[in-house]
Each structure stands twice: as C-alpha cells, then as structure tokens.
Amino acid sequence: MCNPADFRQRRSDSAHSTADLAKTKRSLHLQPYPKTPIGFFTAKETSPELILDKHSKIDAQKHLVAQVGLENFIRSISKVLDLKLPRKVKFNMNGRGRMESWDDVYLAEKVYTRCLGISKRIYQTHAYTHEPSRNVAYFILEEHNERSLSWLPGFDFYVLVFTYYDEEKRVTRVDVQYDQLSFYLHCVGLAQAHASLVEALTPLIVVWARAFHG
C-alpha cells in the first residue's frame, strides 16, 4: 500500500519537475532585443521575428566578382544590382579619409598603394547581401595584395563594405570598415611577428588577470 504522505510528496515533486521543464523550454526561446540601437550598422528596432522575416526575403545570392584595380571592381560590382555611379559620392575610408567623388577615391587608392609598396590588387567579394527595404548592399571584400619590393611579403586582407543608394538606384554613400593596425602591419611585413608576440604574451596576461581578479 502506498503511504498517502509519500504519494503527495511524489505528486509535488512531479509538479515541480514539470514546471522546471516548462521554464527551461521558455528560456530556450530568443528574447526580444531592446528597442534601442545595437551597434553602429544595425537597425534601430529589431526582434527575433523581424530577423527571421528579413532573412526569409533577403536577396543574398552569391555574387562572385574578381577584378584587378579598384575602379574595375567597383564598376563590376555595381552591375550586380544595376546601380548607377554618379560622379559625387560620400566615401568613408574607415574614418581615416572622407572623399566626395569617385575620381578622388580612385586617385587615393593609386597613390597610397604605391606608397605602401603594393604593385597590384585583386578584389573579390564574399557573402554579398542585399536589403532592398533599407537601400543597402553589403559584403566582405577580399584583397589580394602583390608587392613592388621583393623583400615585402604579399598578403590577403578582408574589409567590410556597405553601399547605400537612393530610390533611383544611384550610389550615394559607401562605408568601408577594416582593422587599420593589422593592415599596416601586413604592409610593413610585421604581421607574423606581431602575431607571434601576441601569442607569447597572452598566457602571461591571462595569469595576471586571474591574480588581479582574485
């Protein structure tokens, strides 16, 4: 015979277990993001539902564009979405330079690549994504850099490019974002030395952080 007290205890334990399981299931669902800007390039209002809806409609075809030279690349990539390239554009080069025309952009690339010992660049796109509702297309740009000096190593580099256009599909603004320090370390041939130094110092920093944290 089952003791009534034992039966009540088992029933109570079962109820708690069911409640804990339901609570766990609820916690697995994505929680809505706060209605404030999250990062510099994200939407001001977002939620799991909006993200899923956006990605069910997004035009994220794989557009492979590979060209030698920036001007050739830009003219090729603009054809993907049938975008127009007016003479004027607001071009933000990682916050280090803000140009107002394509002629200035092409000139700047020719001058600084020559000064940095880069003889040829091959540009290629990855993860090309288009959001028509925001009039923006963005992608990862891979640069293969060949050097004009034999003692400088060639290198590959990645940047993030945001292209904005108006209702008439004219490009109005371009934002280019990349790791400035890493780029210049590659240019002067010290990227590998810097990586080795970081690898050697990191364990020491971790030991210090643990001691500091107590």
Tens-digit pLDDT profile for residues 120-168: 888 888 878 888 888 998 888 888 888 988 888 888 899 999 999 999 9
Q: What is the pLDDT of residues 51-65, one digit of tens each?
A: 556 555 544 444 555
- Give the mean model confidence (pLDDT) for residues 166-190: 91
Per-chain mean pLDDT for the chain: 77
Residue 39 CA to residue 209 CA, distance in Å, equals: 27
Structure token pair of residue 175: 């934002």
Which residues lie below 8 Å from residue 95, measured CB to CB, with a gap of 6+? none
Residue 109 CA to residue 129 CA, distance in Å, equals: 25
- Whole-model pTM? 0.66
For residue 126, the model assigns a pLDDT of: 80
Q: What is the pairing mode between strands 171-177 and 88-93?
A: parallel
pLDDT at 193 over 70: yes
User: Which residue would you say has higher pLDDT here, 40 or 210?
Assistant: 210
Structure token pair of residue 18: 């069911």
DSSP string across the chain: ---HHHHHHHHHHHHHHHHHHHHHHHHHSPPPPPSS--SSSS-SS--HHHHHHHHHH-B------EEESHHHHHHHHHHHTT-B--SEEEEEETTS-EEEEHHHHHHHHHHHHHHTTEEEEEEEEEEEEEEGGGTEEEEEEEEEEEESSTTSPPEEEEEEEEEEE-TT-BEEEEEEE--HHHHHHHHTT-HHHHHHHHHHHHHHHHHHHHHHH-
